[in-house]
Structure 1
Amino acid sequence: MKRPNILFIMADQMAAPVLPIHDAASPIKMPHLARLAEEAVVFDAAYCNSPLCAPSRFVLVSGQLPSKIGAYDNAADLAADVPTYAHYLRRLGYRTALSGKMHFCGPDQLHGYEERLTSDIYPADYGWAVNWDAPDVRLSWYHNMSSVLQAGPCVRSNQLDFDEEVVFKAQQYLFDHVRSGSDQPFCLTVSMTHPHDPYTIPEEFWNLYRDEEIPLPSLVIDQAEQDPHSQRILKVIDLWDKPLPEQKIKDARRAYFGACSYIDANIGKLLKTLKDCNLADDTIIVFSGDHGDMLGERGLWYKMHWFEMSARVPLLVHAPSRFAARRVSQCVSTLDLLPTLVELVGGAVDADLALDGRSLVPHLEGRQGHDEVLGEYMAEGSNSPLMMIRRGDWKFIYSEQDPLMLFNLREDPQERDNLAESSAHSAVLADFLNQAQARWDMPAIHQATLSSQRRRRLVAEALTHGKLKSWDHQPMVDASQQYMRNHIDLDDLERRARYPQV
């Protein structure tokens, strides 16, 4: 029996709580995603396992928590011997390809993908390493508020250049696959960089929204009342003692909404290509993200914290011939995708290899699945590991240096009331604390993070001297095999290039 194809579509920094597939009152227009969700299994409590681009993605591809694989920050490299879903699927006979962003750092830029159709939008070196040895120094490459202060429509941007290439190359991959006549299944990952800041988008998408329908943040907390990690983030993003104009907040959110609609338009292109190539019926579609965006909620922007807007991601699996459409309320995470993809295609993970993720197939089949997410954060804004446990109604945020945080998300979805100081919830808090202390060796993780930062800072500084050898992925195209060439019979070329063939 032929194994199904997989099309895995990723968005960057897309906050699940504001999306129309999760919030019926959302003003964001995403009709293609909505139609996909109507036939899919949609996870309403899906999370990333580290609210920052590279750590989250390394966890997603490997099914292991950040501290297990050294995924500390946006300049950490993923060791070449860490198995990814691409390795597993490739071993099962799949063509594995990546079009777009995965934020790999270091000399291995493939990690099991047979092909990378584009370069990455972000650098592959160690230049963005965090420095816990100087926690009060604001590094030059940190986020700042220019993305908000310069928010508005544009004609072109760096990120538009990237995503246009990502989608074009992905469509071309699908056309080439069907024209080849190959029976080999594919797993194509299409990873776009929108709606990640900067908050700017062409007028076509900006004008989908009117200024008066853009809601301002529903919860704003004075900086003096913020928890210590939020206060550090405000300083990291250069927002401390710098209130933002209300109109710029609206402009940023309007551009973000437009960027979500732009992602939706690209989803539509990919779905149409699947249909046009007669691939739709035997292709499993997965849609997810790497983390969210605070978008001004609680007075915060970007990500880097465990609050819902930052940590919750969209996640759906579309395979209507196999799984009835349903909503899943249990807490799951992108950590679970590797074992899920392997099981979906009839494979099995290696029982002798480390794996933290758990398959989502029981959830897809309507059976009892797990209801727990673990998270680890050791990047910008932190000065020690900041861990999270999400289970049932509860979210517990654990640090050895910051006050504990406990929220009941069923009763308090906006996380207004930290119950860690509530005597009525002392037993719940004690249980979570005992679990966290048993699970994590915080001093060891702290020291491993520091050691990694120090090594990478030295290496990064050394490699600025002498001849530069870039680690950035260079997608190679053999132009001698493209279009019309005299060593290829013209009639044969035209016949093979046309789909459907005549």
Structure 2
Amino acid sequence: MNILFLMADQMAAPILPLYDAASPIKLPNLQRLAERAVVFDSAYCNSPLCAPSRFTLVSGQLPSKISAYDNAADFAADIPTYAHHLRRLGYRTALSGKMHFCGPDQLHGYEERLTSDIYPADYGWAVNWDAADVRPSWYHNMSSVLQAGPCVRTNQLDFDEEVVFKARQYLYDHVRRGDDQPFCLTVSLTHPHDPYTIPREFWDLYDEVDIPLPEGAIPQAEQDPHSQRLLKVIDLWDKPLPEAKIRDARQAYYGACSYVDAQVGHLLKTLEECGLADDTVIVFSGDHGDMLGERGLWYKMHWFEMAARVPLLIHAPGRFAPARVQASVSTMDLLPTFVELAGGRLPAELPLDGRSLLPHLEGRAGHDEVIGEYLAEGTVSPLLMIRRGPYKYIHCELDPPLLFDLQNDPLERENLAASPDYAELLASFQAEVRQRWDLARLHGEVLASQRRRRFVAAALEQGERTSWDHQPFVDASQQYMRNHIDLDDLERRARYPQP
């Protein structure tokens, strides 16, 4: 079967109507899709930051295994991705939209990238743990919240509309080609990522809606150390936000979620028009969430549910019965899942951390575990996470441990790490961290990578600049009407269905 993989950027799962029946967010297309899909209720990213999360997703390997440390980490060309695997199985592979690849290889197994990326491909955003108290100008700040509101046009709208246009054109070209080769098309939008602004059409969907404010913000003095560092990273320390702007930001975010849903609707309609709906597995997910003011935090970069949990559904009605999966899984598990859906086998000699979701899809017992690593801005030591059963454990050598029972405390208000009743569980998690990671070595590898990339980035700013950003090629000599192409033949081939 074909695979259509749809991605949203910074879409927080806990507040979506797919997971919260009381959510005011309007997602009619995704909800209709979910009714006939396998929906994962506890899906996570493996690093709550764009590039590391995406590199892990496409490779099925943890960030530390592939040096995916931050948003300027080089993604090596010799790391196999799901696109490489599917090409070997006979699939056409294409990417339309964002994947935030850094480095000179901008394809990573995709035969085609239909658009450029919205983010830079160079090392300019390399993190500096050597000067952790210095806040670079490119870090998030609060302008996204303070300037929140409706708009006519933005950089992100320009990007996403090109992404969807090119993706639909790819589907039309596929059916007009008329062969039996399957495709894997990845369509990756940049909404609802901040800035929090969206056209009136989507803003006005929520004009009559009571926009809920964050539940019980935690005073900054009572925040855990990593949250305190993040408040400084995003320039929010000692700077309370106006309640009206918090509400505006959340309304715009809701509207941006509905915008994503509308784009999904366009793509689903194209599948139907092209007769591809019954032959295509549809997967919807994202790279990480957004705190949206919960706990007093914004954006991502922490392991709390709003930042780390992502939507995940897999729609293949002819193959899998609709179901809800309670077990915790991650986007790292998508690569082995795609390979098995395509009828392939995973090479035993290639490293892989992800585990196939096929048992869950078939209603059998599957894994219930997520391993996470955060190695970027806001920390100066690896921030690690283990999610298993009802528990989430967050570990950093510099900070007190965090342990939550999400079954009884879904808002993560009670840190159980100091409770004598949980001393044995805490000790077992701590021992597992020591067994899984050589923390001193990982810390050193991150620092060494940061130093190399900052040096190279500074050098490449001198002299003539060569861009690594992907440049999509369009051969205009083969487009539309040209004198070397027979007009009747051109019109016949371009028409679908053909007369």
Q: TM-score range by the shorter chain?
A: over 0.9
> Which secondary structure does the structure 1 equivalent of 2:130 belong to?
coil
> Which secondary structure does the structure 1 equivalent of 2:327 belong to?
coil
> Which secondary structure does the structure 1 equivalent of 2:404 belong to?
strand
- Higher deviation after alignment, 322-331 or 202-211: 202-211
State the 1:282 CA deviation: 0.5
Is contact 1:303-1:311 (8 Å) kept?
Answer: yes
1:197 aligns with 2:194: yes
The answer for the alignment partner of 1:351 in structure 2 is 348
> How far does the alpha carbon of each residue in 1:266-314 deviate from its partner, in whole angstroms, 9 at most, with x for none?
0000000000000000000000000000000000000000000000000
Is contact 1:98-1:189 (8 Å) kept?
Answer: yes
Is contact 1:211-1:250 (8 Å) kept?
Answer: no
- Distance (Å, rounded) in 2 between the aligned partners of 1:207 and 1:43: 30
Of the candidates 271, 274, 288, which is equivalent to residue 274 of structure 1?
271
State the 1:182 CA deviation: 1.6
The one-letter amino acid paired with 1:147 is S
The answer for the alignment partner of 1:172 in structure 2 is 169
> How far does the alpha carbon of each residue in 1:420-460 deviate from its partner, in whole angstroms, 9 at most, with x for none?
00001101111111111110110011000000000000000
> How far does the alpha carbon of each residue in 1:163-187 deviate from its partner, in whole angstroms, 9 at most, with x for none?
0000000000000010010211000
> Which secondary structure does the structure 1 equivalent of 2:77 belong to?
coil
Q: TM-score, normalised by structure 2?
A: 1.00
Residues 1:212 and 1:268: Cα distance change in structure 2 (over 3 Å): closer
Of the candidates 119, 134, 137, which is equivalent to residue 134 of structure 2?
137
> Which secondary structure does the structure 2 equivalent of 1:213 belong to?
coil
What is the aligned-residue RMSD (CA, Å)?
A: 0.5
The one-letter amino acid paired with 2:193 is H
Is contact 2:150-2:200 (8 Å) kept?
Answer: yes
Is contact 1:337-1:360 (8 Å) kept?
Answer: yes
Of the candidates 88, 92, 96, which is equivalent to residue 95 of structure 1?
92
- Distance (Å, rounded) in 2 between the aligned partners of 1:130 and 1:380: 6
1:150 aligns with 2:136: no
Is contact 2:24-2:209 (8 Å) kept?
Answer: no
**4+ long deviations beyond 4 Å:** none
The answer for the alignment partner of 2:497 in structure 1 is 500
Of the candidates 428, 432, 446, which is equivalent to residue 429 of structure 2?
432
1:75 aligns with 2:72: yes
Q: TM-score, normalised by structure 1?
A: 0.99
Of the candidates 254, 258, 273, which is equivalent to residue 257 of structure 1?
254
Is contact 1:55-1:72 (8 Å) kept?
Answer: yes
> How far does the alpha carbon of each residue in 1:310-338 deviate from its partner, in whole angstroms, 9 at most, with x for none?
00000010001000000000000000000
State the 1:349 CA deviation: 1.0
> Which secondary structure does the structure 1 equivalent of 2:131 belong to?
coil
Alignment of 1:165-244 (within 5 A): 165-210=162-207, 213-244=210-241
State the 1:380 CA deviation: 1.1
- Distance (Å, rounded) in 2 between the aligned partners of 1:438 and 1:320: 41
The answer for the alignment partner of 2:390 in structure 1 is 393
The answer for the alignment partner of 1:322 in structure 2 is 319
- Distance (Å, rounded) in 2 between the aligned partners of 1:389 and 1:140: 32
Is contact 2:45-2:308 (8 Å) kept?
Answer: yes
> Which secondary structure does the structure 2 equivalent of 1:366 belong to?
coil
How many residues are aligned here? 499
1:342 aligns with 2:349: no
The answer for the alignment partner of 1:449 in structure 2 is 446
- Distance (Å, rounded) in 1 between the aligned partners of 2:466 and 2:318: 48
> How far does the alpha carbon of each residue in 1:26-53 deviate from its partner, in whole angstroms, 9 at most, with x for none?
0000000000000000000000000000
The answer for the alignment partner of 2:46 in structure 1 is 49
> Which secondary structure does the structure 2 equivalent of 1:247 belong to?
helix
The one-letter amino acid paired with 1:438 is Q
State the 1:219 CA deviation: 2.7
- Distance (Å, rounded) in 2 between the aligned partners of 1:130 and 1:421: 32
State the 1:231 CA deviation: 0.3
- Distance (Å, rounded) in 2 between the aligned partners of 1:397 and 1:158: 36
- Distance (Å, rounded) in 2 between the aligned partners of 1:168 and 1:470: 25
- Distance (Å, rounded) in 2 between the aligned partners of 1:472 and 1:273: 29
- Distance (Å, rounded) in 2 between the aligned partners of 1:100 and 1:367: 34
Is contact 1:49-1:335 (8 Å) kept?
Answer: yes
Q: Which runs of 5+ in 2 are unaligned?
A: none
Is contact 2:50-2:287 (8 Å) kept?
Answer: yes
State the 1:211 CA deviation: 6.0
State the 1:210 CA deviation: 2.2
The answer for the alignment partner of 1:372 in structure 2 is 369
Is contact 1:106-1:124 (8 Å) kept?
Answer: yes
> Which secondary structure does the structure 2 equivalent of 1:8 belong to?
strand
- Distance (Å, rounded) in 1 between the aligned partners of 2:107 and 2:216: 41
The one-letter amino acid paired with 2:57 is L
Is contact 2:211-2:250 (8 Å) kept?
Answer: yes
> How far does the alpha carbon of each residue in 1:442-492 deviate from its partner, in whole angstroms, 9 at most, with x for none?
001100000000000000000000000000000000000000001000000
State the 1:22 CA deviation: 0.5
The one-letter amino acid paired with 1:369 is G
> Which secondary structure does the structure 2 equivalent of 1:455 belong to?
helix
> Which secondary structure does the structure 2 equivalent of 1:133 belong to?
helix
Of the candidates 460, 463, 469, which is equivalent to residue 463 of structure 1?
460
- Distance (Å, rounded) in 2 between the aligned partners of 1:437 and 1:213: 47
Is contact 1:8-1:286 (8 Å) kept?
Answer: yes
Residues 1:146 and 1:398: Cα distance change in structure 2 (over 3 Å): same
Is contact 1:211-1:254 (8 Å) kept?
Answer: no
- Distance (Å, rounded) in 1 between the aligned partners of 2:219 and 2:209: 25
- Distance (Å, rounded) in 2 between the aligned partners of 1:162 and 1:369: 38
Q: Percent identity?
A: 77
1:30 aligns with 2:30: no
- Distance (Å, rounded) in 1 between the aligned partners of 2:312 and 2:76: 26
> How far does the alpha carbon of each residue in 1:55-93 deviate from its partner, in whole angstroms, 9 at most, with x for none?
000000000000000000000011000000000000111
> Which secondary structure does the structure 1 equivalent of 2:332 belong to?
helix
> How far does the alpha carbon of each residue in 1:124-159 deviate from its partner, in whole angstroms, 9 at most, with x for none?
000000000001000110000000000000000000
- Distance (Å, rounded) in 2 between the aligned partners of 1:491 and 1:219: 67
The answer for the alignment partner of 1:122 in structure 2 is 119
> Which secondary structure does the structure 2 equivalent of 1:110 belong to?
coil
> Which secondary structure does the structure 2 equivalent of 1:172 belong to?
helix
- Distance (Å, rounded) in 1 between the aligned partners of 2:434 and 2:400: 15
The one-letter amino acid paired with 2:289 is G
- Distance (Å, rounded) in 2 between the aligned partners of 1:395 and 1:184: 43
State the 1:212 CA deviation: 5.0
The one-letter amino acid paired with 1:257 is Y
